[in-house]
Amino acid sequence: MIMERSPHMRIANLLNNLREQEERHDELLRQTQEVIAMSARLVRESKTLLSRPTLHDPPNEGGHHRQGMVGGS
């Protein structure tokens, strides 16, 4: 006859499983927070780069750079 585990053993195993689950959850939460922090940093850096003046003026409606039109027209 197979003996069933005692209720105390089952409770101990369930608590152990719950503890392991909490540890995995904590690790996933930590990794998620890292990804959010990296994303925020990348967004800030992108905004900084996009707000810098460029070496050339943006093209006008005809697609030509204004600097290339010096002395023309």
Interval 15-37 mean pLDDT: 98
**pLDDT of amino acid 73:** 45
Interval 29-50 mean pLDDT: 97
Residue 58 scores a pLDDT above 80: no
SS3 of 69, please?
helix
Domains of the chain: which residue ranges? 8-48
Q: Are the beta carbons of 56 and 65 closer than 8 angstroms? A: yes
Average pLDDT over the chain reads 83
CA distances from 44 to 37, 40, 47 (A): 11, 6, 5
**Residue-wise DSSP of 12-47:** HHHHHHHHHHHHHHHHHHHHHHHHHHHHHHHHHHHH
**pLDDT of amino acid 52:** 87
